[in-house]
Amino acid sequence: MKKVIDGKYQFIEQGEGPVLVLLHGLFGQLSNFEGCIKHFSSQFRVIALQLPIYELPMLKANLKSLASHLTDFLNHMQFSKVHLLGNSLGGHVALLYALEHEHRLHSLCLTGSSGLYENAFGGSFPRRGDKNFLRARIEKTFYDAQMATDALVDECYEAVNNKEKLVRILQMAKSAIRTNLRSELSKITLPTCLIWGKNDEITPPRVAEEFSEKIKSAELFWIDQCGHAAMMEHPEKFNTLYHNWLSKHTFIS
């Protein structure tokens, strides 16, 4: 999968058909959606968008700016209506977009989304220079600690040891806490799919249950022995659940 750079936008694009846009989390990468891209590109034009978390000006390192980036990107691509899937912080961005532009969405899918509560750092500051501490925190993202590979740890280590990146990470995490959508979720009426790891420690099961209660059109599905990034840890189960849900709503055959 090759990244496309189009002006200020970076993304992976594969397939043809209705547009499905994928949004990663705070420490996420486009590769997090490799399984989704391969599965759904047979029936969708799948686009995994790189959120400019590290590129935004310091004073604009917040959720509102990421939602504006998504809006600008969809306008730039001249998409009239899309399906939107977001993990963790990407789910939060998707929710902000849906609240402002629901008429431009076919459906919404959230997995491990922030917006109500997120324990992003396990209650601890991401220590610079302490790779063992960082590995332990990353392992909490998954049910299977072996998912925290050396490559993944190295990527996060580089980010938190870069002063400018770390400041933006912390500002984004604070913005996610401040931008609580509890009172807004009842406004969302479009078909919404919630896919959650039963063992998610970052956005625990009670968070998924509250999303399901607040978004009246939502349907909630669980994946057992699964943490915060279901599409990475159990890609086949995730894709099957999402595929079946899309089929039920006649978005896919």
- Backbone torsions φ then ψ of 192, nearest 5 degrees: -130, 130
pTM of the model: 0.94
d(CA 127, CA 64): 27
Answer yes or no: are the C-beta atoms of 15 and 40 closer than 8 Å.
Answer: yes
- The CA radius of gyration of the chain, in Å to the nearest whole number, is 17
Average pLDDT per block of 10 residues along the chain, 253 residues long: 90 97 93 96 97 93 97 97 97 98 98 88 55 86 92 88 91 93 97 98 96 97 98 98 97 86
Residue from 160, 30, 178 nearest 118 by CA: 178
Domain residue spans of the chain:
3-248
Strands 105-111 and 82-87: parallel
DSSP state at residue 32? G
Q: How far is CA 8 from CA 54, 70, 84, 99, in A?
A: 13, 11, 20, 24
Per-residue model confidence (pLDDT) at position 123: 46
- Is residue 82 within 8 A of residue 71, CB to CB? The reply is no
Q: What is the CATH number of domain 3-248?
A: 3.40.50.1820
Per-residue pLDDT at 126: 55
Predicted confidence at residue 103, as pLDDT, reads 97
